[in-house]
Structure 1
Amino acid sequence: MRHDRLGDMRLFVAAVELGSLSAAGRKLALSPAAASARLHKLEKAFETRLFERTTRHLRLTEEGQLYLEHCRIALQAVDDAELALASRRNAVRGRVRIAATSDFGRHLLLDWLDAFSAAYPDVVVSLTLSDAVASFLHEDIDLAIRFGMPADGALNARRLAGNRRVLCAAPAYLERAGRPTQPAELAGHRFVLLHTRDGLQDGVTLRRLDAVVECRMASGQAWETNDGAVARAWLLAGRGIGFKSWWDVAADVGAGRLDVVLPDWETPAADVHALFHRRLLPLRVRLLLEFLAGRFAAHDQGQLPIT
């Protein structure tokens, strides 16, 4: 058993990340029977269960969660050692799997990844764009860029930038439907709304001095989508008023394609974070994280006032 403990650790971590022992076996070129036998031997050696098994899911036990944390540290140390030996110059190479929201990913991140690739041409990128928060225990993701702080405290998070969220609409729509001057006037407008895993995002909290107003954006005649880039396109087309992160619409506001609605009222911030589940990141992932942090710092307009 001990002659291939690292192989067993890789199988265990892969099963956690993919959510399936058979999928982990396929990734490591093992048959389902072989993968199951190796995991059984691993649990027998430790005299403890690492997973609670159901017909559809694997769920880590408390002991399994503890073992997962140490396995990732050990495997990362091995991977880094092999990477260092692969080149005398410790060249940066390999695949980075990154996830981001759809609008930010298409609008800014693609260009930033091109610039990173120019600096590190031997690094290849797998990019997942989705407005749903990635499940890091069941998706093979190294790094995710998200707006707001996730509820999952098990993930490591690094704040990258501030982010103001705004109500906005195309000038043509506001000329046609009227420009709200008070939160109560939102009731007569059409909206572009985003669906997330938490449901339809049709509520917004507005603050000015000591006043706090909870607004509901009527969904009866709203255009709805689960894709932030589509929502932005509909806003530009004059479909209604939407609630967007400043990072997604700053260029449009600056160019006059969108106007901020109720600019004197503030909404709760949703700062930009990088999320990752490994405490020891591969060199290529660490370099990408630092590169993105530098880009955010250079372009951080999240706290700038909009007039």
Structure 2
Amino acid sequence: MIRLDDVQIFVQTVDAGSFSEAARQLSIAPGLASSAVQRLEKALGARLFMRSTRSMQLSEDGERYLPHARALLGALAQGEQALAQGRGALTGPLRLSVSSDFGRNLLLPWLDDFQHQHPGLSLQLRISDRAADLLRQPLDAAVRYGALADSGLVAMSLAPDNRRALCASPAYLARHGTPSSVEDLRRHNCLRFVWSEQVHERWRFTLPGGERTVSVSGDRVSDDADVVRRWAIAGEGLVYKSRLDIIDDLVNGRLVEVFPHQHCEPAPLHLVCAERVQLTPALAQLRDFLRIRCDAHAARAPVD
């Protein structure tokens, strides 16, 4: 008989990287964590970890078993949430991955409101401009911009009409002039950010004559898109990012749009989970809540 707590300790050990760290997170003795995984290995008739005195990593059998272990624990949590929903409450963890700028400046206060409405939820938030691996990381969902390359993921639209915006501070434009065409971008200092190890430096536009991509350059690049936005506000160059992220800056005059936003690259916003069975009542309600907030925020944007 496989014990569910052994499965939980196995998954926790994978995520933590060691028995000692998993034990610390679970508030148990390291020996208990090791014994639990050994008991699970015996029940499965398979070796889940390759161990040495200096390292520990998943075996091939461990790699194969891990997604099923996560699914088992996920199904258990969904069952508990279904019972709670029957009593009119959402409970349990809500584990999200979000991008830096949107996460810090918009989503964070929205999630505060959502959690206050559902105090039975415990929020776990990962803010990063690296693409989260929803199949391997302990996450319920991610909030992502752009078209999804992972066709197996389930994407729920939050802001389907959102686009990027090309903008700069009034001070920068006063010093360097306003670009009159996309070709002018080559002579401007363009502030770039890194998304999942790749520098976003090919800026795409939809012009009356068709699609146009411009390779830009500049003296600043960061793997944190919030930092890039702050550089733009400080007058250091042009920035090309989601219009949702910079609406407050546009409204308050900290940034000015250079081109009409309908000419800029689409940047739809999605709530993404690994598979349909992960669409828990908490995620479904969060999706509806965020759609309303995104619509209200987008309505504040200046009209071209």
Band of TM-score, shorter chain = 0.7 to 0.9
**Between 16-25 and 268-277, the greater mean CA deviation after superposition:** 16-25
Q: Is the 8 A contact 2:48 2:59 kept in 1?
A: yes
CA RMSD of aligned residues (A): 3.5
Change (3 A) 1:86 1:203: closer
- The match for 1:225 is 222
Distance in 2 between residues matched to 1:223 and 1:81, nearest whole Å: 49
Q: Which moved more, 1:17-26 or 1:173-182?
A: 17-26
TM superposition shift of 1:284 = 3.8
CA shift in 2, pair 1:155/1:30, >3 Å: farther
**Which residue of 248, 259, 262 corresponds with 1:262?**
259
Q: Which residue matches 1:104?
A: 102
2:260 match: secondary structure: coil
| CA-CA distance at 1:300 after TM superposition | 4.8
- 1:30, CA displacement in angstroms? 4.6
Aligned to 2:206: 207
Correspondence for 2:186: 187
Picking from 56, 77, 80, the partner of 1:79 is 77
Q: Normalising by structure 2, what TM-score?
A: 0.80
- Once the two structures are TM-superposed, the CA of residue 44 in structure 1 deviates from its matched residue by 3.8
Name which of 88, 99, 116 aligns with 1:118: 116
Whole-angstrom distance in 1 between the partners of 2:182 and 2:86: 62
Q: Matched residue pairs, number? A: 301
Q: Tell me the residue number matched to 2:292.
A: 294
Equivalents in 1 of 2:55, 2:259: separation in Å? 48
> Residue 269 of structure 2 corresponds to which residue in structure 1?
272
The 1-side partners of 2:15 and 2:292 are apart by 29
Cα distance, 1:146 vs structure 2: 1.7
1:191 match: secondary structure: coil
Are the aligned partners of 1:84 and 1:90 in contact in 2 as well (CA < 8 Å)? no
> Structure 1 counterpart of 2:89, which letter?
A
Distance 2:220 2:228 in 1: 8
For the pair 1:250 / 2:263, whether they are aligned, the reply is no
Write the distance in 1 (CA, Å) between the matches of 2:96 and 2:164. 23
Taking structure 1 as the reference length, the TM-score comes to 0.79
How far 1:38 moved relative to its partner? 3.3
Contact 1:192 1:235 in 2 (8 A): yes
Distance 1:150 1:47, change over 3 A: farther
SS in 2 for 1:257: coil
Give a deviation string over 1:221-247, Cα, whole Å, max 9, x none: x23333222222221221110111111
Aligned to 1:8: 6
Q: Deviations over 1:31-67 (max 9, x none)?
A: 4444344334433433344456686563474x65664
User: Which residues of structure 2 form unaligned runs of 5+?
Assistant: none
Q: Residues 88 and 257 of structure 1: is their aligned pair in 2 closer, same or farther, counting only changes over 3 Å?
A: closer
For structure 1, the 5+ residue unaligned runs are: none
- Distance in 2, Cα, partners of 1:138 & 1:264: 36
The one-letter code matched in structure 2 to 1:216 is S
Larger mean CA deviation between 187-196 and 249-258 belongs to: 249-258
- Comparing 161-170 and 144-153, the one that deviates more: 144-153
- Please say if residues 140 and 273 of structure 2, whose CA atoms lie closer than 8 Å, have aligned partners that are also in contact: yes
